[in-house]
């Protein structure tokens, strides 16, 4: 297995690593860089628990090779809060009890932020479609959708 | 396994041609990575084509559009000019997977994966799209329907890469549409997919048409009999029934967990009518 040297920016921090050619970005984040917020659910791009952004584009880090992101800007859940100050989406997820076991939550937050960055006033249908790539087996989704809608409303007032 | 990211088509083609073991092209990776991680394939070489500039752009050309092989579904959805000219192609590409998958997946990958149920492929075939193939002996252009030869297999030879998909220029009064049937509302594989593209004459009669079916045969089907059934008509009820009958007659499906043969044959006709109606509306025609 040949290894690859990669220079990238993760949550604004320049980051270098060496990974195996067949290693996924998810494995690099979790096992080499200690960024364990992105979770491995299915490894086939169906569950969205490993969601990150690459150059601002929402994607499943399990479907990306670590070697591919040289020169790219990666956004993970670890970069969402500003120090101790939670992102409005994180606060609303707590307020609405939009999580139970929490495994899917980082992925939902990343996907929801990506939606609100592109569409500050989504309809409920748009929220449901935008989050169709994230699976939650606990909440039944309604609380998550309400938390996202409420965040969008609050951000519009701010 | 080695990972390479050449910056020219020639270099990419050479890497693939010279590799003695198994070599795969990587663009969006939404199919390749799954096969890699589940052990279905054990590549010796992966050639990432995303650093090749011509694979990353959608260009409006004198003859239509040139869509680079690594352009993602999300990028297609954001291209207003392409959506206006070929709404059916863009909606087919945007049906594939979630937002996360759309951020990476490409139409060329959908085509080269050679699944009979690929969503963007019937829309491309109906559109009369071609592909530009770069290889050790230079470039060649073939029709989209000539790429898949059987489930999982393409007609590409060793060292060949699809550089881009070519969509023709739209004459006035043209419209296209793609519909698929899935038992869920989202995130599923087509039980049947239908692409229709048509052009009307000044009187509102169908002048040209192409009808394509997915998931009802080992490869995507172009169905000239279905097009013939509506050419010269205003897509009245009789023409619609003839279209449905021709589409159903062309099906050679299998029974599987997503649908039976009989069901697929029936649904192909129903969807062909519905897709033709949308294409007609987009072309500005009225029944």
- pLDDT for the residue numbered A158: 84
Answer whether B74 touches A (CB < 8 Å): yes
CATH code for the domain in which residue A39 is found: 3.10.20.30
In sequence order, what are the beta bridge partners of B162? Answer: B133
| Mean of pLDDT values over B119-146 | 97
Same domain membership, residue A108 and residue A72: no
d(CA B123, CA B193): 9
Answer whether A67 touches B (CB < 8 Å): yes
> What are the mean pLDDT values of chain A's consecutive 10-residue runs (158 residues total)?
94 98 98 98 96 98 98 98 96 97 97 97 97 94 98 94
CB–CB contact B100 A115 (8 Å): no
Structure tokens at B198: 């048509």
d(CA B193, CA B212): 8
Closest chain A residue to B6, measured at CA = A68
Among A46, A59, A130, select the one facing B104 at the smallest CB separation: A59
Q: How many domains does chain A have?
A: 2
- pLDDT for the residue numbered B158: 96
CATH code for the domain defined by B174-282: 3.30.390.50
Same domain membership, residue A117 and residue A65: no
**Band of pLDDT at residue B287, cut at 50, 70 and 90:** low
CB–CB contact A59 B100 (8 Å): yes
Residue A83 located in a structural domain: no
Domain boundary among A42, A59, A78: A78
Same domain membership, residue A45 and residue A103: no
- Percent share of chain B, pLDDT over 70: 99
CA distances from B188 to A56, B113, B183 (A): 26, 16, 8
Residue A36 located in a structural domain: yes
- pLDDT for the residue numbered B187: 85
Residue A62 located in a structural domain: yes
Kindly state the helix (H) or strand (E) to which residue B45 belongs, with its residue range.
strand B45-48
Summarize pLDDT for B58-105 with one digit per residue, the tens. Answer: 999 999 999 999 999 999 999 999 999 999 999 999 999 999 999 999
Same domain membership, residue A93 and residue A44: no
Q: Is B174-282 in the same CATH topology as B2-168?
A: no
8 Å CB contact between B72 and B103: yes
What's the domain range around A134? 88-157
Domain ranges of chain B: 2-168, 174-282
CB–CB contact A1 B48 (8 Å): no
* Angle, vertex CA B127, rays to CA B122 and CA B132, nearest 5: 90
Q: Please name the fold of domain B2-168.
A: 3.30.465
Summarize pLDDT for A100-146 with one digit per residue, the tens. Answer: 999 999 999 999 999 999 999 999 999 999 999 999 999 889 999 99
Summarize pLDDT for B146-159 with one digit per residue, the tens. Answer: 999 999 999 999 99
Domain boundary among A31, A58, A78: A78
Same domain membership, residue A100 and residue A53: no
Among A21, A111, A129, select the one facing B3 at the smallest CB separation: A21
Same domain membership, residue A92 and residue A74: no
Domain boundary among A17, A47, A78: A78
Same domain membership, residue A114 and residue A60: no
């Amino acid at each position: 297995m040949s290894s690859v040297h990669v220079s990238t920016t993760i949550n604004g921090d320049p980051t270098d690593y060496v990974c195996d050619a067949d290693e996924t970005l998810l494995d690099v984040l979790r096992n080499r860089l200690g960024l364990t917020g992105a979770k491995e659910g299915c490894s086939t791009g169906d569950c969205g628990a490993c969601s990150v952004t690459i150059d601002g584009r929402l994607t499943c880090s399990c479907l990306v090779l670590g070697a591919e992101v040289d020169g790219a800007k990666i956004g993970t859940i670890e970069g969402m809060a500003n120090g101790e100050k939670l992102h409005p989406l994180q606060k609303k997820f707590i307020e609405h009890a939009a999580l139970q076991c929490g495994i899917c939550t980082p992925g939902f937050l990343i996907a929801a932020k990506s939606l609100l960055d592109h569409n500050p006033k989504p309809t409920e249908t748009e929220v449901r479609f935008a989050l169709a790539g994230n699976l939650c087996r606990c909440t039944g989704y309604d609380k998550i959708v309400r938390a996202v809608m409420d965040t969008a409303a609050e951000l519009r007032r701010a | 396994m080695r990972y390479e990211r050449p910056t020219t088509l020639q270099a990419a083609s050479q890497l693939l041609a010279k590799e003695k073991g198994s070599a795969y092209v990587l663009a969006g990776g939404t199919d390749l990575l799954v096969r890699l991680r589940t052990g279905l394939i054990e590549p010796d070489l992966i050639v990432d084509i995303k650093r090749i500039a011509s694979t990353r752009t959608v260009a409006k050309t004198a003859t239509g559009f040139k869509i680079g092989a690594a352009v993602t579904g999300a990028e297609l959805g954001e291209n207003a000019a392409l959506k206006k000219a070929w709404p059916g192609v863009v909606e087919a590409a945007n049906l594939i997977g979630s937002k996360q998958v759309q951020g990476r997946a490409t139409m060329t990958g959908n085509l080269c994966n050679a699944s009979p149920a690929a969503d963007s492929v019937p829309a491309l075939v109906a559109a009369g799209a071609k592909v530009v193939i770069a290889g050790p002996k230079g470039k060649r252009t073939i029709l989209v329907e000539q790429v898949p030869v059987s489930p999982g297999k393409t007609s590409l030879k060793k060292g060949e890469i699809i550089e881009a998909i070519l969509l023709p220029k739209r004459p006035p009064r043209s419209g296209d549409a793609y519909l698929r049937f899935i038992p869920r509302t989202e995130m599923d594989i087509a039980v049947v997919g239908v692409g229709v593209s048509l052009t009307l004459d000044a009187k509102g009669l169908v002048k040209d048409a192409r009808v394509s079916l997915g998931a009802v045969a080992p490869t995507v089907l172009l169905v000239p009999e279905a097009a013939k059934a509506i050419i010269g008509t205003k897509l009245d009820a009789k023409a619609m029934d003839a279209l449905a009958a021709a589409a159903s007659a062309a099906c050679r499906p299998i029974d599987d967990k997503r649908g039976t043969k009989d069901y697929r044959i029936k649904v192909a006709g129903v969807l062909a009518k519905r897709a033709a109606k949308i294409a007609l509306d987009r072309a500005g025609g009225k029944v």
